[in-house]
Structure 1
Amino acid sequence: MISRTLSFKQSFLFFLVWCISCTPPRSLLTNTGNPVFKRKINKLISSSGLDANIGIKIVSLTTGKTLYALNSHKLLLPASNNKLYTCAAALERLGADHVFTTTVLKTGNNLILKGGGDPDLTIDQLDSLAKISAKIIKNVDTLFVDESLMDTLHYGEGWMWDEGSWWYAAPISALSVNDNCIDFYVDPGQLGKPAKVDYYPRTSYFRFVNNSVTVNDTVDFKKFKIERDWAGRTNHFTISGEILDTAATDTFYRNIYDPALFAGTVFRELLETHGTMIKNIHNGNRSGDLNTIALHQSDSLIYSAFNLMNESDNLTAELFVKTMGISKENPGNWKDGIDTVKSFLFEKVGIDTSVIRIADGSGVSRYNLSSPDQLASLLTWIFKSEFKDDFISTLPGGGLDGTMEERLESFGTRIRAKTGHLAGVSCLSGYAFSPRYGPLAFSMMMNGFVGSVKPYQQLQDRICSTLFHD
């Protein structure tokens, strides 16, 4: 009798646990919005079997009503969705026509290359400055490289210390060129020999050792790597690993240490090709009798904003923030720039900035915290503002370009959205132009998972698809 009772209790307990495990999370039962959206999106989330902290907000831009909300007030890591705040604030505070000016100044027999915070300064543009300068002075005692428009804190608060030499972790400086990176072009060499490596720009600013090997099979294959000695704060690169003899040309972008001196060294070498000799080069600025002998003005800010949002360029984001922080009292810096962004969000958008954490402009920092409510509020405000067309034009379309090139390919410009990705973080926020429901603003934030980001991106894409169908 006792045995039968225990067996019944055990069976009942097992059945109860099974029922609970098959029940959607409470958050899915208590979320708000349009019944059709609730049913469809809740089913997508439940059937995905994904284990993550999920927050979603979908708003009709025609009626202002919330069509779907799930944990939309919860603060989560936004990753590159932070760039939505940065881009919007830059358009409103700096203006779409703002330009960045790089200047060459002369004082006595010295030259000063002064950075203006241009995120898109190229080697060719630097060469144009060198050509003009070389016509005016042939012998220079010292070339000073001046990044004083902004502070010299090159890495943001909460950035991972071991991001190393990857292009997306390039140091931030008012004097930046070629994205503060070296471009390595790699081809297979002869079998058993090192890979063929070319690079741009052609400069003595860095050196590398090539320990790679060309092979004809993948047995015990060693991954090809190009790594800078970032821990030692040097510009010494080591190339290692293996490359197949049938491999096509590959390009590797690696950041450098001390971007201002990098720009200055390249400028010095360009001056020398045009006949001007330079004895010394130093970091620093000079006051007194300064004469401008050459300058370069960038394309308008909206051009840089397109690169910021389409390619998710971190350097551009941080230079925008530091530019917004420039004042008569202080050089551009993260604190004052972020205060400007938060002031915009509070005064214009109406976001309570006491319940948001913005640590940088790019979203690289792990200290950032935002919610789908806040991002949807920004997108709603932008849609009604004078910056609407400029802002939306910077967002990549589904399957068209940038970070959306391989996502939502059948939707084209009917979906305009900003991706966000860090380890354990996947976000997608933007606009859907639905024939069925009209223009919509949406924000989807997913945090706290391990493994591949792909299933979370696929869930986001499926949810986007529901916005276009009954």
Structure 2
Amino acid sequence: MRTLTACLMLCVACARALAAGLENDIALWVGRAKSGETLLEHRADAPMNPASTMKLVTAFAALDTLGPDYRWQSSLRSDAPLAGGVLQGDLWWVGEGDPAFDLAALDALLDGLRLRGIRTVSGGLLLDRAAFGRVASADGFERDAGRVFAVAPDTHLVGHKVAWLHFYNDGAGARAALEPALGGVTLTQSLTDAGDVGTDCDDVRRFVRISSEGEALSVSGALPRACDGASRFVNLLSAPAFAAQAFAARWARLGGQGAVFGGERPAPAGARMLAGHASPPLSQVLVSTNFHSNNTMARAVYLTLGRVLPQGAGLVADAEAALRASLARHGVDARTLVLENGAGLSRRERVSARALGQLLSAAWRAPFAAEFVASVPAAGRDGTLEKRLGAWGPRLRLKTGTLASVSALAGYWLAPDGEPLAVVAIANGEGASAARIDAAVDAALRRVHAAP
């Protein structure tokens, strides 16, 4: 047990550490989650770029508006007759922007078609993309367009339109294979066998060069035997083209025929559902979104707010209106809030530390509190927080936010004595870094609560 003198010395040291970290480029708010009472603040009303801590705002509004059990639906529909295993007309794939839709989901959708007895589609495959009329922007990230974190949401986004290159060197020659097999993509490979060069192949790109442009993909280099079975993802095509080609490949693998891609067109009003697939519940989608700070998934959730609650102003404007209405219902002051896409992949988005703290407090008291808190990563254990602030243990749950010149943390300290605290720390400027914002949170928690 610490002596009184030791405790006083610790408090003085913590106060000094906190003061040293809280300069004019940092905003901080710490309060009681149950009551919203402020315990510590610094520049708490300054509008700050929150980076990916903005995902907490979108998650809050989604749980409040859609409900934790909300699921996105994908379906295959047609108004054509079915006879002898042949669908005698066009097939529509209707997408709702399922953030978790992947190849397994596509297979499940196609299995439903097969179970109905359909083996051939005499008409074309048409994509109904009406659910998302327009996608919210992410201005300033155009140079990152080929990066997975910058992939825009889409009604028919399959696995974030990521394909995998699998490399083999097993004595039958060095080679690569693409999964899923995309019929429109030409894979050119010039790989040689580098033999037994070392035993480490942590990143196959040390030995091969991968490049893509449009539907052309090429790999070249000398592949060591140690890289047999190595894989690397590549981002290919537009979302509709990737979806159509993935559909064709998986349908052919099931022995299906026809359904040649015929473009995009809304399904006719009388089209009946032939097969359907439901996403995981929203609560589970948000765990994946926030643990791994997935921009694409967060942006899809944001747009879904506008699709489910249309107000006639357009999808993006309706999404913002729905989000702001949710905050207003819970008494969150949104005057500093500036939205672009709801994911924090933005140079324009802003929110104050106090407003974000109010939201965290409101979430703690909300009917969906358990689902919201479960979506926030635990220190030293989960996702983007796996290697940060581990000394505090999993009782500290924080969403990270990182951009150039931005570092942020927001979430909860679930104290052993049962007193939950809401914590927000945001740094904007050239000095912003994960280490610096971690130190600010550590010092703030030590000042208002016993150290772990």
Per the TM superposition, whether the score is higher than 0.5 is yes
What is the aligned partner in structure 2 of residue 254 from structure 1?
Answer: 234
Check whether the contact 1:149–1:174 (CA below 8 A) recurs between aligned residues: yes
Partners of 2:23 and 2:169 in 1: how far apart?
A: 42
Runs of 5+ unmatched residues, structure 1: 1-34
C-alpha displacement of 1:235: 4.0
Aligned to 2:39: 67
1:44 alignment counterpart: 17
Greater Cα offset, 286-295 or 75-84: 286-295
Check the 8 A contact 1:309/1:396 in 2, yes or no.
yes
- Residue in 2 that maps onto 1:120: 100
Which residue identity does 1:413 align to in structure 2? P
Shift of 1:312: 1.1
Aligned to 2:90: 110
Give the C-alpha shift of residue 276 in structure 1.
2.3
Q: Distance in 2 between matches of 1:347 and 1:63?
A: 17
Alpha-carbon deviation of 1:43?
2.4
Aligned position for 1:368 = 349
Spell out the pairing of 1:429-440 with structure 2 (5 A cutoff): 429-435=410-416, 438-440=419-421
Bigger drift between 133-142 and 398-407 goes to 133-142
What residue in structure 2 maps to residue 339 of structure 1?
Answer: 321
Corresponding residue of 1:290: 271
Alignment match, 2:258? 277
Is the aligned partner of 1:206 residue 2:185? yes
Return the alpha-carbon distance in structure 1 between the equivalents of residues 44 and 324 of structure 2. Answer: 20
Query: Which of 245, 262, 272 is equivalent to 1:265?
Result: 245
CA drift at 1:159: 4.4
Question: Do the aligned partners of residues 289 and 160 (structure 1) sit closer, same or farther apart at CA in structure 2, a change above 3 Å counting?
Answer: same
State the Cα distance separating 1:185 from its structure 2 match: 3.9
Structure 2 equivalent of residue 23 of structure 1: none
Alignment match of 2:288 (pick from 307, 316, 336): 307
Aligned length: 423
AA aligned to 1:140 is: S
Calculate percent identity across the aligned residue pairs: 21
1:30 match: none
Is the alpha carbon distance of 1:65 and 1:165 closer, same or farther for their aligned partners in structure 2, counting shifts above 3 Å? same
Single out whichever of 429-438 and 204-213 deviates more from structure 2: 204-213
1:401 paired to 2:373: no
- Equivalent residues of 1:149, 1:331 under 8 A apart: no
Supply the RMSD in Å over aligned alpha carbons.
3.3
Name the CA shift for 1:159/1:303 in 2 (closer, same or farther; >3 Å): farther
1:131 alignment partner in structure 2: 111
What is the deviation of 1:127? 1.7
Looking at structure 2, the residues matched to 305 and 358 of structure 1 have their Cα atoms a distance apart, in angstroms, of: 19
Q: Which residue does 1:20 correspond to in 2?
A: none
Letter in 2 for 1:146: D
Larger of the two Rg values belongs to structure: 1
Q: Deviations for 1:113-137, whole angstroms, at most 9, x for unmatched residues?
A: 1102211112122123223324235
Q: Any residues of structure 2 matched to 1:230-241 within 5 Å, and which?
A: 234-239=214-219
In structure 2, the CA distance between the partners of 1:454 and 1:242, relative to structure 1 (3 Å rule), is farther
- Cα distance, 1:183 vs structure 2: 2.8
SS in 2 for 1:55: strand
CA distance in 1, matches of 2:169, 2:353: 47
Task: Report deviation, 1:364.
Answer: 0.4
Q: Which runs of 5+ in 2 are unaligned?
A: 1-7, 81-88
Q: Does 1:322 align with 2:294?
A: no
1:261 deviates by: 2.8
Distance 1:64 1:319, change over 3 A: closer
Rounded Cα–Cα distance in structure 1 between residues aligned with 2:367 and 2:352: 25
What is the CA-CA distance between 1:456 and the residue it aligns to?
A: 2.4
C-alpha distance in 2, partners of 1:150/1:370? 26
Aligned-residue offset at 1:329: 6.8
Query: What is the match of residue 456 of structure 1?
Result: 436
* 1:151 corresponds to: 133
Residue 304 of structure 1, CA deviation: 0.5
Q: Measure how far apart 1:41 and its partner are.
A: 5.0
Alignment deviations for residues 25-73 of structure 1 (CA, whole Å, 9 cap, x no partner): xxxxxxxxxx99995555225656x987111111123564322211111
Give distance in 1, aligned partners of 2:266 and 2:68. Answer: 29
Q: Under a length normalisation based on structure 1, what TM-score does the superposition of the two structures give?
A: 0.79
Match in the other structure for 2:397: 416
Per-residue deviation, 1:388: 1.0
Q: State how far apart, in whole Å, the 2-side matches of 1:439 and 1:132 are.
A: 46
How many angstroms apart in 2 are the aligned matches of 1:206 and 1:468? 58
Residue 53 of structure 2 is aligned to residue 81 of structure 1: yes
Partner of 2:3: none
Distance 1:197 1:461, change over 3 A: farther
Pairing partner for 1:54 from 7, 11, 26: 26
Secondary structure class of the residue paired with 1:410: helix
Deviations 1:174-216 (A, max 9, x none): 12211222233457899xx97x544322222434445678875
Instruction: Encode CA deviations 1:316-359: one digit per residue, 9 max, x unaligned.
Output: 11111111101567697322112211221223233133x22111
CA contact (8 A) 1:37 1:67 kept: no
Secondary structure of the structure 2 residue equivalent to 1:68? strand
Please state whether the residue corresponding to 2:351 is helix, strand or coil: coil
Q: Give the distance between the partners of 1:333 and 1:295, measured in 2 at CA.
A: 24
Is the Cα–Cα contact under 8 Å of residues 52 and 449 in structure 1 kept in the other structure?
no
Output the amino acid matched with 1:67: L
Does 2:330 align with 1:358? no
